[in-house]
């Protein structure tokens, strides 16, 4: 069986584990014992004799490993600090003397090591393992000063397999280890804290019911990678998950989570969230319950598919998402300091998610077509996974967008195919619940450990990697009222919903909701074909409270055509704001829906100063009008300009282009229903049109 784990800062090839070339059973020996390797008996040629005579006895003796003692302070590679005057090799055993301080700055190999009481081993070799074949015995201090400082136990590349213990042993005092790689079966006789990785490499790790913790802090969360290996005697094996207290609001936060170890029940979250067996009351609240499972067929009005578990013993299987209320005073400000724990055996190898699909009135959404098929699932592994890793996922009839709820901002982080909004990315942390959208009843989704992300680039989390993506941000004086949407231009986009490019908008009554409109459907990420003519994209906006809001922009550097000119039109005030990385537009909004107020207009021809090129106002005659109306401007327009007529909800219902150097344009309104419309063009403001 072969194992090769690749770790590097840019995910370029870099060996991290050695190959395991055989599965032969090693013989356990002490370091001082003598092993008789072979005792051969042969036969002589009798010629004239009739009896067998023993041939010469061949005795092969393995020399006990030389013991090397390090004294003083210095680098492992400094021969002067070793008792023999030479640096030990993989055939030797080493002792770090009391009071000695030795530093590793490159890969070193040793049969066994003893770190004496009062001694220190500093492992400062970035991305480089310290190989110990048999026994890692720590009575002193072990520190890690670089990145991915690995201790590799039982490396098969060292010595003859006959000298290898099975299992290799970690013993002595408890300590924190950055990366532990098992290149053989390994047993710990001490408590361990893992700060970055525990990699089994296809072997068995005997936790021996010791306290082994995958640590999680604000800066890093340790990962468990089984690679087909087995974790046994894991009664005290614990996976931690840190959550940022700044994401809470008021008394706590609703968080989408999932169990990080197998065999759990929903009481997993009871330590910091006392379980309350509540019932749903009219119209839609789960009174007192701090924990909900998700059932897309649960149709109680307003419940949105959330229901309380049947009891504290209801299973919380890995891969299944739950909504949990983490109280500020009991969790984020409590003794756990924002860390929740799951004790048990983590999932390895592969996982198939239990997807559900509902349709029509059997759906929690009440039968809205675009809402059918939602599933709240969770990362099944005790490690961050990458939604983009094609080799790790099998997705059948599942849209490629993922969604993660953010309680503090009452909005959702969305991600699809290189574009994320509200912090959405392809990376799904350990214990994180997330939504996916199934296409039909035959939908299926499975994942393997190939989806695990070894090195996380935080910059990727916040920014989309695709080109031709513009993001609009909305904020207010209340820092919790913010939202973000994205418009991506892609040649593969269609007029319908593009499951591999777009993400629906999950709105919240408690937050500000900005969205693009695909017809009447609000979109968090909307995809359109590259514009070849002036194009207007209507926006929808709802505000949880009246006040002043600001829209800003990012992503212009991603545009493949730098000649594009983009403008944000406020249809209510007639103000046109050119879109730049430093531009912003502040406005007053009423509480509730402000739909039809804004449009984003793109001029691919490269108009650079619309305000000066088109500066006069539009006159409509007659107005009100029945079937025809004439648009008039006082001064001839120097370039062809497209006018957009939008309805009350901001949808563009008609466009017409006034030729260059013209002052009039006649429009046929016979196809429009009676009502109030807005006529607009950049630099010309907004003029109300009444169709009778």
What contacts 287, CB < 8 A, 6 or more positions away?
Answer: 278, 279, 280, 281
What contacts 582, CB < 8 A, 6 or more positions away?
Answer: none
What's the confidence (pLDDT) of residue 112? 96
Cis peptide before 283 (omega within 30 of 0): yes
What band does 644 get if pLDDT is binned at 50, 70 and 90? Answer: confident
Topology of the domain covering 615-691: Immunoglobulin-like (2.60.40)
pLDDT tens per residue across span 297-338: 777 767 778 888 878 888 999 999 999 888 887 777 765 678
- The number of beta carbons lying within 10 Å of the beta carbon of residue 352 is 12
What band does 34 get if pLDDT is binned at 50, 70 and 90? Answer: very low
Mean pLDDT of 222-245: 93
pLDDT tens per residue across span 544-581: 999 999 999 999 888 877 677 888 988 888 788 889 88
Better-predicted residue by pLDDT, 279 or 265: 265
Are the C-beta atoms of 423 and 462 separated by less than 8 Å? Answer: yes
Are the C-beta atoms of 643 and 678 separated by less than 8 Å? Answer: no
Q: What are 547's two structure tokens?
A: 């006040």
Share of the chain above pLDDT 70, in %: 81
Better-predicted residue by pLDDT, 541 or 633: 541
What's the confidence (pLDDT) of residue 39? 21
What's the confidence (pLDDT) of residue 642? 82
Task: Name the CA dihedral angle for 375, 379, 385, 388, rounded to a multiple of 10 degrees.
Answer: -10
Which of 191, 316, 307 minimizes the C-alpha distance to 260?
A: 316
pLDDT tens per residue across span 350-382: 999 999 888 777 777 654 545 578 899 999 999
What band does 41 get if pLDDT is binned at 50, 70 and 90? Answer: very low
Hey, is 234 helix, strand or coil? coil
Residue ranges of alpha helices (H) inside 190-343 are none
d(CA 279, CA 469): 45
What contacts 32, CB < 8 A, 6 or more positions away?
Answer: 64
**Strand ranges (DSSP E) for 519-623?**
521-528, 535-543, 547-554, 565-570, 576-578, 584-589, 592-593, 598-603, 618-621
For residue 18, is pLDDT > 50? no
- Burial label for 539, CB within 10 Å (0-12, 13-18, 19+), is buried
Secondary structure, 3-state, 248-277: CECCEEEEEECCCCCCCEHHHHCCCCCCCC
Burial 422-435 (b: 16+ CB within 10 A, else e): bbbbbbbbbbbbbb
pLDDT tens per residue across span 414-464: 999 999 999 999 999 999 999 999 988 899 999 999 999 987 654 333 334
Cα distances from 503 to residues 13, 432, 515, in angstroms, run 33, 19, 11
Cα-only R_g, the chain? 33
What contacts 109, CB < 8 A, 6 or more positions away?
Answer: 89, 90, 131, 133, 155, 157, 158
pLDDT tens per residue across span 191-220: 999 999 999 999 999 999 999 999 999 889
What pTM, to 2 d.p., does this model score? 0.78
What's the confidence (pLDDT) of residue 422? 96
CA triple 365-371-372, angle to 5 deg: 90
Domain ranges in the chain are 67-235, 246-455, 466-608, 615-691
């Amino acid at each position: 069986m072969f194992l090769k784990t690749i770790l590097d800062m840019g995910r370029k090839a870099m060996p991290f584990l050695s190959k395991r070339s055989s599965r032969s059973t090693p013989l356990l020996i002490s370091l001082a014992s003598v092993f008789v390797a072979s005792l051969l008996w042969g036969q002589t040629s009798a010629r004239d004799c009739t009896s067998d005579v023993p041939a010469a006895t061949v005795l092969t003796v393995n020399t006990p490993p030389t013991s090397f003692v390090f004294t003083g302070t210095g680098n492992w590679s400094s021969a002067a600090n070793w008792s023999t005057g030479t640096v030990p090799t993989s055939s030797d055993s080493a002792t770090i003397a009391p009071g000695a301080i030795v530093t590793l700055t490159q890969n070193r190999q040793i049969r066994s090591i003893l770190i004496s009481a009062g001694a220190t081993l500093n492992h400062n070799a970035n991305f480089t393992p310290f190989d110990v074949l048999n026994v890692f015995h720590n009575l002193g201090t072990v520190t890690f000063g670089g990145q991915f400082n690995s201790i590799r136990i039982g490396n098969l590349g060292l010595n003859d397999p006959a000298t290898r213990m099975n299992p290799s042993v970690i013993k002595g005092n408890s300590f924190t280890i950055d990366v532990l790689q098992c290149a053989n079966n390994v047993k710990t006789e001490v408590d361990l804290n893992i700060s970055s990785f525990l990699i089994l490499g296809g072997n068995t790790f005997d936790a021996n019911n010791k306290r082994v913790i995958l640590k999680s802090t604000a800066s890093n969360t340790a990962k468990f990678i089984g690679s087909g290996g087995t974790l046994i005697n894991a009664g005290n094996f614990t996976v931690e998950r840190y959550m940022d207290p700044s994401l809470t609001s008021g008394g706590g936060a609703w968080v989408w989570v999932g169990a990080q170890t197998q065999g759990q029940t929903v009481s997993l979250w009871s330590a910091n969230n006392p379980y309350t067996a509540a019932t749903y009351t009219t119209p839609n609240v789960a009174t007192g319950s701090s924990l909900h499972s998700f059932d897309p067929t649960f149709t109680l009005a307003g419940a949105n598919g959330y229901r309380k578990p049947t009891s504290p013993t209801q299973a919380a299987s890995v891969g299944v998402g739950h909504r949990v209320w983490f109280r500020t005073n009991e969790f984020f400000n409590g003794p756990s300091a924002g860390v929740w724990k799951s004790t048990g055996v983590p999932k390895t190898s592969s996982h198939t998610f239990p997807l559900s699909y509902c349709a029509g009135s059997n759906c929690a959404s009440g039968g809205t077509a675009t809402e059918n098929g939602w599933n709240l699932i969770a990362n099944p592994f005790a490690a961050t996974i990458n939604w983009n890793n094609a080799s790790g996922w099998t997705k059948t009839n599942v849209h490629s967008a993922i969604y993660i709820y953010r309680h503090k901002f009452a909005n959702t982080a969305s991600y699809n195919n290189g574009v994320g909004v509200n912090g959405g990315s392809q990376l799904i942390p350990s214990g994180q619940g997330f939504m996916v959208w199934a296409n039909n009843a035959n939908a299926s989704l499975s994942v393997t450990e190939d989806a695990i992300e070894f090195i996380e680039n935080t910059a990727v989390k916040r920014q989309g990697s695709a080109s031709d993506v513009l993001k609009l941000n909305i904020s207010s004086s209340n820092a919790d009222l913010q939202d973000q949407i994205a418009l991506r231009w892609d040649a593969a986009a269609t007029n319908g919903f593009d499951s591999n490019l777009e993400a629906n908008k999950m709105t919240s009554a408690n937050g500000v909701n900005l969205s693009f409109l695909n017809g009447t459907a609000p979109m968090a990420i909307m995809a359109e074909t590259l514009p070849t003519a002036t194009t207007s994209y209507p926006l929808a906006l709802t505000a949880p409270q009246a006040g002043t809001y600001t829209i800003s922009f990012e992503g212009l550097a991603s545009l493949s055509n730098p000649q594009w000119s983009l403008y944000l039109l406020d249809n209510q005030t007639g103000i046109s704001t050119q879109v730049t990385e430093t531009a912003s537009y502040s406005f007053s909004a009423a509480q509730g829906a402000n739909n039809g107020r804004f449009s984003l207009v793109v001029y691919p021809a490269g108009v650079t100063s619309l305000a000066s090129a088109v500066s006069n106002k539009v006159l409509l005659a007659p107005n009100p009008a029945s079937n025809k109306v004439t648009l008039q401007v006082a001064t001839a327009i120097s370039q062809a300009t497209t006018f957009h007529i939008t309805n009350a909800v901001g949808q563009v219902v008609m466009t017409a282009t006034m030729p260059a150097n013209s002052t009039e344009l006649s429009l046929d309104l016979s196809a429009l229903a009676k009502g109030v419309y807005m006529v607009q063009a950049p630099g010309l403001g907004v003029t109300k049109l009444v169709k009778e």
